Amino acid sequence: MLRRVLSLASGRIAAGILTFIVLLAVLGPLLAPHDPLEGGVDVLAAPSGSHWLGTDYLGRDVLSRLLDGSRVSVLGSVQVALVALVAGVIPGILSVYLGTVFEWFTLRLADTLIALPFLVFAVAVTALLGNGIPQAMLTVGILISPLFYRVSRAATLSVARSPYVEAAIISGASIGWVVRRHVWVKVLPPIAVALANTAGVGFVVVSSLTFLGIGVQPPAPTWGGVLAADLGYLSFRPWAPLVPTALIMATVWACNLLADAIRDVSGEAGRALLNSRAVRRRHVHS
């Protein structure tokens, strides 16, 4: 799958950007030239040799805050995606096999979660469970999980009644066997697409939550937090919000690009695409 995605130009671009972002998340805090929490007398300074992106309203180095905040932001969105994946895909596949009661219950639950207003719910739960990144991301992940539930359920349903699955059942296959051997491969591509999309959405949500001050306590830096601080002092540094915005947008865009690439290469169509490329390549070489 990965190899097929990388055979597309869009897949390579997306992978490149995401690799850069992940590197930022891993190495960012180490690369920060200043302590991201330490203020100075030099507030709202313009970019200079010692402060490449200037300082914020407390005199803290913006570049350091962005680099340091990248880990929390990226981890947050990954966590959202993982929670949504686990809470959505497993019930989604099982809803086809575990009988009508489970099916009915999970379907109604998914409908309920979809109907809840997103940010309001997140704010409410954080208020209830305390303000912290894990709580906030758990909430967001669960709110997104109906998407994964729907996607995996639809993919499973389309496979469940197919002759080859029945042939396996007639040969004595258990539900577990059928899922591992036949269903999983078909469910994976649409889930990968949904996952890449969700990582993008998760990123926006993490950023907007931290923008609102939910999830991360104020002094700790995040991209959304930096953006919020910048917006408060637009008249002094009108260009400042562009930097965190660009980071957030690039990540979201890369996630969506990756999602499209996965969709393009998965399934019959994808295999045909790859084959035609391989054939063309062989022609070129010979």
Partner 1 sequence: MSLLEISDLHVHYRRRTGRLHALRGVDLSIGAGETVGVIGETGSGKSTLARAVLGLLPVSRGRIVIDGEDVTRFNQRQWRSFRRRGVVQYVFQDPLRSLDPDLTIEESLTEPLRLQGRRDSPNHLLERVRLDESLLTRLPAELSGGQRQRVAVARALAAEPRLILLDEPVSALDSANRVRVLELLKELRDAGTALLFISHDLGSVAGIADRIAVLHQGELVEDGPTRQVVTEPRHDYTKLLISSVPTLRKVVPA
Closer by beta carbon to partner 1, 138 or else 159: 159
Q: How far is the CB of 154 from partner 1 (least distance, A)?
A: 17
**In Å, how far are 6, 199, 252 from 256, measured between CA atoms?**
15, 9, 6
Which CB sits closer to partner 1, 191 or 254? Answer: 191
The single-letter DSSP state of residue 180 is I
Q: In the complex, what is the shortest distance from the CB of residue 265 to partner 1, in angstroms, rounded to a whole number?
A: 14
DSSP, collapsed to helix, strand or coil, labels residue 61 as: strand
Q: Which of residues 142 and 192 has its CB atom nearest to partner 1 in the complex?
A: 192
Whether the Cβ atoms of residue 155 and residue 186 lie closer than 8 Å to each other: yes
Whichever of 213 and 271 has its CB closer to partner 1, that residue is: 271
Return the number of the residue (2 or 9) whose C-beta is nearest partner 1.
2
Question: Which residue number, 33 or 267, has a Cβ lying nearer to partner 1?
Answer: 267
Closest CA to 191 of 150, 135, 160: 150
**Minimum distance from residue 211 beta carbon to partner 1 (Å):** 43
Nearest distance in Å: CB 273, partner 1: 14
Minimum distance, C-beta of residue 150 to partner 1, in the bound complex (Å): 22
Q: How far apart are CA 84 and CA 108, in angstroms?
A: 17
d(CA 261, CA 149) in angstroms, rounded, equals 22
Nearest distance from C-beta of residue 5 to partner 1, angstroms = 17
Cα dihedral 142, 144, 146, 148, rounded to 10, equals -110
Q: Cα(123)–Cα(169) distance, rounded to whole angstroms?
A: 47
| Footprint of partner 1 (CB under 8 A) | 162-164, 166-174, 177, 181-182, 185-186, 268, 271
CA 125 from chain centre, in angstroms, equals 21
Q: How far is CA 265 from CA 8, 43, 184, 252, in A?
A: 8, 50, 17, 20
